[in-house]
Amino acid sequence: MTSAVLEVEDLSVEFGTEDGTVRAVRGVGYRLDRGESLGIVGESGSGKSVTALAVMGLLPTGAKVRGSVRFEGTELLGLSDARLSDLRGSGIAMIFQDPMTSLNPVYNVGYQISETLLRHNPDMKQRDARKRAVELLGTVGIPSPERRVDSYPHEMSGGMRQRVVIAIAMANDPDVIIADEPTTALDVTVQAQILEALETARAETGAALVLITHDLGVVAGHTDRVAVMYAGRIVETGSVEDIFYTPRMPYTLGLLGSLPRLDREEARLTPITGSPPSLLNLPPGCPFSPRCPMRRDVCDTDEPALRRAGGDLHLSACHFADELVDTGADQVFDAVGADTEALARFADAAPATNPEEDPV
Amino acid sequence: MTDIEAPGSAGTQLPPGEREFTVRQRTQTQLVLRRFVRHRAAMVSLVVFVLILLWAFIGPHLWHYSYEKYTEDNSKPPSWKHPFGTNSSGYDAYAQVMRGTQTSLKIAIMIALGSTLVGAIWGAIAGFYRGIVDAVMMRIADLVLTLPLFAIALVISSRTGGSWYWIAIVIAGLTWAYVARVVRSSVLSLREKEFIEAARALGASDVRIIFRHLLPNALGPIIVNATILVATGILTETALSFLGFGVQPPDTSLGLLVSQAQTAVDTRPWLFYIPGAFIIAIALTINFIGDGLRDAFDPRQQRVRQ
Amino acid sequence: MLAYTVRRILVSIPVLIVSTFIVFLVVINSGDPVANFATSRQPAPSKAAVAAFARHIHANQPVMERYWNWITGVLHGDFGPSVQANLNIGHDLFTRFKVTITLVAAAMILALIMAVVFGVFSAIRQYSAADYTITFFGFLFLAMPVFWFAVLLKQAGIWFNEKTGSQFLGTIGEKSPYLEVDTTWNQFTDHVGHLILPTITLALVSFASWTRYTRASMLEVLNSDYVRLARAKGLRRGKVMTRHALRTALIPLATVTALDIAIILGGAVITETIFQWHGMGEMLVQAATTLDVYRTMAWLLLSAVVVIGFNLVADLLYAVLDPRIRYD
């Protein structure tokens, strides 16, 4: 238990809007051990990014945050901004989605990296910060970093800029790196390189990683555990194998079924019909029920709790999780061609999981 | 923005722009309207502005004093008989303010319509043809933009001053270039959109593309700018009239009324404050309406650049 | 940068020539000073006198030649003949320019300071009561006619002087008459006293729109990803505000300020008229009323040079402050 660097418990975030209260996050909990990596998967609007920003304490002032976020045993919620600032960038670092807008256009990248170094190392000299910035740029794979350190963001490509953002994130040897869709805004060809740079950053710093994405493929290759989010909640969580081989929540099944794959000619996608519910005035019951092919009456009245399904670490929020044993997306969703075999092959690429942890 | 599916499949002889546009425009218009109605300040302003408009244009026919006829009362404060009082020569200020509002509004609306019409077409042509046409047309527009509006209007009006339409033409002749720039930049981005390419692929003529596809889709910025020009127009005209270069007696404008009352701020304050308040009310409501329209057309973006 | 500056100045010359030529055409066609001379004098001047007057103001020359003579004359410091006898336009222009430039500079500085303070404050406290108040007054001042506000201020100045029994707030002229004999300190306070009300008036012309601009620009930056990343790096709010938000948000204000200089010059005409300054405003009004072609042209030429100069400075400033803009 003591090895956890980040523990999130029953976190909920609400925003007051003109039309009413938006419950963006509703009781999310996870636990991250030192050096471990967790993938958070979900559609846009499922609360992934809001959860991350709540952990960082970077939500706009209007947001109401409840629950608990503990970093190395220290409760972060309710901490003063000054204390939080000391932690941000050194204890927990964050990488944002769009590298084109993440860097300030009027400062060169060297300055922007030095800034975080000098902020957390008051005794560091300007010159040393610069030297370290060059090193960091080299580490994340930027060619001729001595020259690039004086470049402005607009002189770099999106992939280069995201490497700079990764360099900033790893600059102070953080214990946790939260990467919010770090590859979404980039070209497919660059995505793999950025994930590799992220791996390098992790290896160098030994940081634990929270990788937020909507791409199950990214999760499979780069994380130990997965949490699937829907409508502000975690609806299924487990090891990568659990999720890919034996999903116990129709939504997860749907996500797997809608993975585009190039490995099978006849493979057809099984889309999930409909769209996620509005988080404003969420009706009672399971939020996925309107889109769920397995929906029964109980789904419209009771929201299922996150319960054990299968292995000890495999939790699912579905009334009928047990019925889903050995079920493929094609059997649940009305489509032909999705096959679990290929999905399983995806999971093969994933590193083995750590069986001791207790995710909640 | 996938506004437009190619009409039918390529090769059908469906005229471009007809059906698919009406469909899109209605939904778009409804959206814009709904957003505008929700903008409370803009809605209230619209009501106030329309009331002022009706009052200024219909009121004079119903009111028992004329703006150009003396009454037997001199320098009377507001009363039931003279709601806005009278001036030292015995003119009924209510009739005069009504007439002044009418003249000022007439000029301002004419400025907005005139410069929008010229500017929109100018900008659309420049943006559509690009290249040398664009370069020449925009250099001309830039040249006009460098002319100091107020000073030039003042110099020209010293000759043409008096008739309201001349004042409108002079000011519109200096403000259209601003509209042209705005329209050009939106046309430049629009012309790269799929539906313009689709229209061109289907053999639509340039004129048709400009008037049926580009201008209707640039309607948002055009309307917003036209609204703002009404405010610019009324402030410019009243300032000219105030200095004696705009509307001339016996006709009157709000600016002229303020000018005539400037020595009477202490003695007959009603003559000074009421026309001033009308100028502010008109410009204020127009600005709020413009703001509401901008939000309605472009809810995401708070426009920063002018 | 130097090459760019030189090129910009060289490019401005033809622009200036074309635009002054158009303006010249407009001005000579917008009034007939000769007819005015013939009809408005008592007793009516003789035919010979009218012809001499026409010759004196070059009204009998063909347009092209007339323009050429004027523009080459200007290069030698000769701004052409005025319809008023014994009026040296060049001398008149520069005396008045000195008066007006003080007012314009003071008003711009005041407007900029107020715009930045209120705009930034409004953005930081978005949707607060203060924000709504500032926004409301912004809209109100945007709709306020300058001449109306100026008359009101002048009245307030007179009232203030009566109440305090002082003459501190000057409401007539840019300085008190016969001041040259007084001490330097008294001259200075007299100038300042006369400057206050007109400066407030003229600042009003642009303050409201600049405030709104600053607020919008600041909000955009505050909601930007790079400000969020700066916070995620651990920088405190104050530091993010000054180093990342303000710096980036205020750069475009340079351009907006420069673009508005023509509007401010127009506002100066109104302000000077109401406060009875002997500056460029009075000059333009007099020149327009007396159909004085060369005096009008001198005014417009100077204002064109000021506008072009301001835009050049703004562009250069922009390039210095924003690395994305590079001129070469």
Model pTM? 0.80
Q: Is there a contact between C147 and B258 if contact means CB atoms under 8 Å apart? A: yes
Bridge partners, residue A95, by sequence: A179
Intra-chain end-to-end CA distance of chain C, in Å:
6
Chain B closest CA to C185's CA: distance in Å? Answer: 33
Q: What is the pLDDT of residue C65?
A: 86
CB contact under 8 A, A105 and C248: yes
C neighbours by CB contacts (3+ pairs under 8 Å): A, B
Confidence of residue B299 (pLDDT cuts 50, 70, 90): low
Residue C111's pLDDT is 93
Among A72-81, B106-115, B267-276, C41-50, the minimum mean pLDDT is found in C41-50
Closest-CA residue of chain B to C260: B148
Residue that wins the pLDDT comparison between B213 and C97: C97
Query: Mean pLDDT across the stretch A262-274?
Result: 62
Task: Report pLDDT for B17.
Answer: 38
Structure tokens at A345: 């092959």
- Split at pLDDT 50, 70, 90, the class of A132 is very high
Residue B116 banded pLDDT, cuts 50, 70, 90: very high
pLDDT confidence of A40, banded at 50, 70, 90?
A: very high
User: Could you tell me the two tokens for B258?
Assistant: 């303020």
pLDDT at B22: 40
Are the beta carbons of B266 and C155 separated by less than 8 Å? yes
Top pLDDT among B146 and A164 is at A164
What does the pLDDT average to over A210-231? 87
Q: How far does A116 lie from chain C, in Å, by closest CA?
A: 6
Three-state DSSP state, A66: strand
pLDDT, position A338? 39
State whether residue C244 sits within 8 Å of chain A by CB: yes
> How would residue A357 be classed by pLDDT, with cut points 50, 70 and 90?
very low
DSSP letters, A197-262, are: HHHHHHHHHT-EEEEEES-HHHHHHH-SEEEEEETTEEEEEEEHHHHHHS--SHHHHHHHHT---S
Residues B225-280: tens digit of each pLDDT: 888 899 889 999 899 888 888 888 778 888 888 888 887 777 777 778 888 899 99
3-state secondary structure of A316: strand
pLDDT (mean) for A201-205: 88
Q: Inter-chain contact C229–A165, Cβ cutoff 8 Å?
A: yes
C120, C123, C128, C133 alpha-carbon torsion, rounded to 10°: 60
Reading phi first (left if > 0) and then psi (alpha if -120 to 50, else beta), residue A89 is in left
Who among B242, B283, B306 is closest to C147 (CB)?
B242
Written as one string, the DSSP assignment of C3-14 is HHHHHHHHHHHH
**Average pLDDT, rounded, for chain A:** 81
Of B73 and A215, the one with more pLDDT: A215
Please state the rounded mean pLDDT for residues A148-164: 90
Whether residue C229 lies within 8 A of chain A, CB to CB, comes out as: yes
Name the pLDDT band for B111 (thresholds 50, 70, 90): very high
pLDDT given for residue B162 in this prediction: 63
Least confidently predicted of A153-162, A206-215, B269-278, C32-41: C32-41
What average pLDDT does chain B have?
A: 78
Best probe of the B interface among C8, C12, C96, C147, by most B CBs < 10 A, is C147
C322–chain A nearest CA distance, Å: 6
Cβ distance B272 to C151 less than 8 Å, yes or no, reads yes
Between strands A233-239 and A74-75, the pairing is unpaired
The pLDDT tens digits of the residues spanning A51-68 come to 999 999 888 877 889 999
The predicted pLDDT at position B122 comes to: 92
CA-based nearest distance A196→chain C, Å? 21
pLDDT classification of A129: cutoffs 50, 70, 90: very high
In percent, the amount of chain B with pLDDT more than 90 equals 12
Q: Checking DSSP bridges between strand A63-71 and strand A176-180, what pairing results, if any?
A: unpaired
Residue C113: per-residue pLDDT: 93
Q: Do C232 and A85 touch (CB under 8 A)?
A: no
Mean pLDDT of chain C: 85
Q: Which residue in B242, B265, B272, B282 has the most chain C C-beta atoms within 10 A of its own C-beta, making it the best mutation to test that interface?
A: B242
Q: A254 pLDDT exceeds 90?
A: no
B150/C267 touch (CB, cutoff 8 Å), yes or no: yes
Model pLDDT, residue A343: 42
The answer to whether C180 contacts chain A (CB < 8 Å) is no
**Residue C180, pLDDT score:** 62
Alpha carbons A85 and A63: distance in angstroms, whole number: 18
Distance CA A93, CA A102 (A): 14
C202 burial via Cβ count (<10 Å: 0-12, 13-18, 19+): buried
User: Which residues does B116 contact at the CB level (< 8 Å), separation at least 6?
Assistant: B176, B179, B222, B225, B226, B229
List, in order of start, the domains of chain B with CATH numbers: 1-34 (no CATH), 38-301 (1.10.3720.10)
Flag whether pLDDT at A72 surpasses 70. Answer: yes
- Stretches where chain C sits below pLDDT 70 are 178-182, 327-328
Question: Do C226 and A154 make contact, defined as CB atoms within 8 angstroms?
Answer: no
Evaluate if residue B302 carries a pLDDT over 50: no
pLDDT at B58: 85
How confident is the model over A322-340, as pLDDT tens digits?
Answer: 777 666 666 666 543 334 4
Between chain A and chain C, the number of residue pairs with CB atoms below 8 A apart is: 74
Quote the pLDDT of residue A261: 57
Q: Could you give the maximum distance between any two Cα atoms of chain C, in Å?
A: 86
Chain B residues in contact with C151 by the CB 8 A cut-off are 258, 262, 265, 272
pLDDT score of B35? 76
pLDDT at C107: 93
Chain B nearest-CA distance from C137, in A, is: 11
Count how many Cα atoms sit within 13 Å of the Cα of residue A224 in the half-sphere of its side chain. Answer: 19
With 80 as the cut, is the pLDDT of residue A2 above it? Answer: no
Asked if pLDDT for residue B79 goes beyond 90, the answer is no
Domains in chain A (CATH in brackets) are: 4-223 (3.40.50.300), 230-342 (no CATH)
Q: Residue B70 has what DSSP assignment? A: B
pLDDT at position A333 is 63
Compare CB distances from A88 to C232, C251, C323 and report the shortest one's residue: C232
pLDDT of residue B209: 85
pLDDT value of position A210: 92
Give the CA distances from residue C180 to residues B85, C99, C171, in Å, rounded to whole numbers and listed in that order. 47, 15, 19
> How confident is the model over C185-219, as pLDDT tens digits?
777 787 888 888 999 999 987 888 899 889 988 98
- Residues B209/B128, Cβ–Cβ less than 8 Å: yes
Query: Quick one: tokens of A325?
Result: 């044993």
- pLDDT, residue A360, reads 37
Rounded to 5 degrees, what angle do the CA atoms B85, B87, B92 make? 55
Extract the tokens encoding C126. Answer: 């978005």
- Is the CB of A89 less than 8 angstroms away from the CB of C248? no
Spell out which residues of chain C touch residue A54, defining contact as CB-CB under 8 Å.
none
Which among A88, A96, A165 has CB closest to C234? A88
Contacts of A122 (CB under 8 A, 6+ apart): none
What is the C-alpha separation between B79 and B71, in angstroms, rounded?
14
Q: What is the pLDDT of residues B126-180, one digit of tens each?
A: 888 888 888 888 888 888 887 888 888 888 877 665 688 888 888 898 889 888 9
Tell me the residues of B at the C interface, defined by beta carbons under 8 Å apart: 143, 146-152, 154-156, 158-160, 231, 235, 238-239, 242-243, 245, 255, 258-259, 262, 265-266, 272, 276, 279-284, 286-288, 302-306
At B20 the pLDDT is 37
The region of weakest confidence among A18-32, A265-279, B40-54, C106-120 is A265-279
Is residue C323 less than 8 Å (CB to CB) from chain A?
A: yes
Minimum Cα–Cα distance from C153: chain B residue = B265
Instruction: For residue A94, list chain C residues with Cβ-Cβ distance below 8 A.
Output: 229, 232
Alpha helices in chain A (DSSP H): 48-56, 81-87, 99-102, 109-120, 126-139, 145-148, 158-170, 188-205, 216-222, 240-245, 250-257, 329-332, 340-348
A134 pLDDT above the threshold of 90: yes
Can you give the pLDDT at residue A263?
Answer: 55
Q: Which range (A74-78, B71-75, B240-244) has the least confidence?
A: B71-75
- Between A87, A102, A108, which is nearest C229 by CB? A102
DSSP annotation of C136 reads H
